[in-house]
Amino acid sequence: MKDYYQILGIPRNASQEEVKKAYRKLAHQFHPDKTGGSEEKFKEVNEAYQVLSSEQKRAQYDRFGSAGFEQAGGGNGPGFEWDFSNFAQGFEGVDLGDIFGDMFGFGSPGYGRQAVRGRDIAIDIELQFSEAAFGVNRTVLLRKTALCAACSGGGEEPGTKSKTCTHCNGSGSVHETRRSFLGSFTKLHVCSTCRGTGRVPETPCRACRGAGVRQVSEEITISIPAGVNDGEMIKLVGKGEAAAGGITGDLYVKIHVTPSKIFGRSGFDVTTILEISVTDGLLGAEKQLETLEGGALRVQIPAGTASGSILRIRGKGIPRSRGGRGDLLITVLVKPPRKFSKKAKELLEELKKEGI
């Protein structure tokens, strides 16, 4: 016995709206014409919906189960005929355009009209480690489509007027209807003649030939924030390509940080390695290190510092967006000499006797 509630993935006390919503989702998922669809699952979902969407059938199902609704052998009984040529009968009360608009590129009248949008642009920028740490401004030259400066994107020759578009009668959109085995689908397309504005120039602009846009070279200054990571993407809204009568696309900047030979990064902390001698580790010493800013930093090595110890210098890391900076983490490596003089060996033997 089939559990129609389980098939649709809804509780037994689900409302009619919940039944309809679950059906739409599964119809999208299992439609045979879609990649990964399943005709068997699709039939099962439709069977469950036909029963649960009807108050009378649902009441009968809740009382007697699915036996009275399942397709009877030999064509007897009130079963379902799954003939896809008459497929629309399975969608009573359902907005077909809402369900299959994505599959066929159509929707119900009034849906599908979108503003014309210019293309997005993607570029790559390479930074040095210190530039990524403290931020930097970069100016790039882009060749892109921009609104025509002569007509401000209107497409009319300056001083002339525009007129109603005869292709869409001034509505800015045109209807396109297509028939299929599911019925007729209508979609509103942006009018290609007036680009959705409903108006066309009486005298086209000579600079852009009425297109409203032109190819230009434009310098754009990109402000890269401090602390940007390698591989991070920065989005500049409205800095992409323009579309006459529409929305300008965006500019996406992908950051590539050149690794430093001196510094590494852990969040907002900067890491580095300091090599010292055995005697410096035993007796302590003062060393000098380069900082991110390029200056010198005096570092005090405590006596008895073991190899692998980490010294933390507060506030010498990467700036944080909300103020303050991370730390500088210095990993101390004690490097023993490869060769010893005779005197050094004698001294080490003496130290050995002392238990050092």
pLDDT band at 114 (very low <50, low <70, confident <90, very high): low
Is the Cα dihedral 55, 57, 63, 65 positive or negative?
negative
Q: From the DSSP assignment, how many helices (H) and strands (E) are in the chain?
A: 8, 15
Residue 41's alpha-carbon distances to 8, 71, 103, 170, 223, in angstroms, are 11, 15, 18, 46, 53
Do both 332 and 240 map to the same domain? no
Percentage of the chain surpassing pLDDT 70?
82
Percentage of the chain surpassing pLDDT 90?
38
The reply to whether 232 falls in a domain is yes
* The predicted structure's pLDDT at residue 108: 41
Do both 311 and 194 map to the same domain? no
Which CATH number does the domain housing residue 37 bear? Answer: 1.10.287.110
The reply to whether 177 falls in a domain is yes
pLDDT at 48 over 60: yes
Structural domain boundaries enclosing 133: 121-257
* The predicted structure's pLDDT at residue 210: 86
Q: Which of 33-47, 94-108, 300-314 has the lowest mean pLDDT?
A: 94-108
* The predicted structure's pLDDT at residue 71: 43
Q: Which of 97-111, 113-127, 336-350 has the lowest mean pLDDT?
A: 97-111
Do both 127 and 240 map to the same domain? yes
The reply to whether 288 falls in a domain is yes
pLDDT band at 80 (very low <50, low <70, confident <90, very high): very low
* The predicted structure's pLDDT at residue 49: 87
Q: What is the mean pLDDT of residues 106-133?
A: 75
Do both 246 and 140 map to the same domain? yes
Which CATH number does the domain housing residue 280 bear? Answer: 2.60.260.20
The reply to whether 153 falls in a domain is yes
* The predicted structure's pLDDT at residue 119: 92
Q: What is the mean pLDDT of residues 111-118?
A: 60
pLDDT tens-digit map of 181-214: 556 667 777 787 787 778 888 889 999 988 889 9
In the block, tokens 């504005």 appear at 197
Mean pLDDT over all residues of the chain? 81
d(CA 255, CA 124): 6
Please give the backbone phi and psi of residue 57, each rounded to the nearest 5 degrees, phi first: -65, -35
Q: What is the mean pLDDT of residues 321-342?
A: 89
d(CA 75, CA 70): 11
Do both 27 and 148 map to the same domain? no
